[in-house]
Amino acid sequence: MGEVITIAEKKTFIKWFLEKYDLQNREAEWLLQYIASSDQLLERVHFIDNFRNLPKTILVSTKCVQMTPFKFYKNKRVTSDVEKAFLDIHNNPNEDIYIGLFFKERTSSPEYAAVLERNPMDDTKETIDALVSLQAELILDHAFKQFRLNSLYERIDQALAVGDQASFQQLTSELKTVLEPGA
């Protein structure tokens, strides 16, 4: 993901996919063959696994999964009619087409992973990454504070054990600073 996928790679993938899997909707197979036959269309094709907020999406399912056979989404309109999708693609060859495929080995298929792209309209991954980063920072800050407290408690105990009043005063002052809210 993240790399530019060539027209040849997309064409090879579609051919592999259609040879390996039987689609629930035979017309959907014909539509994928049509797309694969046009370099102009393939240049605008993007295989995605998250189709939220995209302007033009085709979802296709194979016989080995329990999903809707075919859906075409364009600007929040939805149809199961492959012919309408074909006409739209044929009449608007300069629009990006996002294709989501549902098949049994989808998550473990290296062929699919090789052509898979990230949804450009979905910032969920960045949001999750930012939250995970923030959570990791908070955990590290807490762990560092705990380590510092434990170290101070040990050193205070040692100062008390040997009767070192100056060290005890200095360490308890440091402890108060660490225990202050926001420290």
Mean pLDDT by 10 residues, the chain (183 residues): 81 96 95 96 92 88 91 92 96 94 91 86 62 74 87 93 93 89 63
For residue 111 the two structure tokens come to 């062929």
What is the pLDDT at residue 127?
Answer: 57
Residue 110 covered by a domain: yes
Is pTM, for the whole model, over 0.75?
Answer: no
Same domain flag for 35 and 107: yes
Of 95, 121, 147, which residue sits at a domain end?
Answer: 121
What is the pLDDT at residue 141?
Answer: 78
What is the pLDDT at residue 81?
Answer: 95
Best CA proximity match to 14, nearest among 96, 120, 114: 114
Same domain flag for 115 and 158: no
Same domain flag for 79 and 154: no
What is the pLDDT at residue 53?
Answer: 79
Owning domain of residue 135: 127-179
What is the pLDDT at residue 125?
Answer: 61
Determine the Cα–Cα distance for residues 17 and 36; give it in Å rounded to an integer.
11
Residue 77: how many other CB atoms lie within 10 Å: 9
Same domain flag for 60 and 146: no
Residue 2 covered by a domain: no
Sheet arrangement for strand 77-79: 77-79, 70-74, 56-61, 97-102, 45-48, 116-117
Residue 152 covered by a domain: yes
Residue 49 and residue 67 in contact, taking contact as beta carbons nearer than 8 Å: no
Residue 40 covered by a domain: yes
What is the pLDDT at residue 159?
Answer: 93
Total of domains in the chain? 2
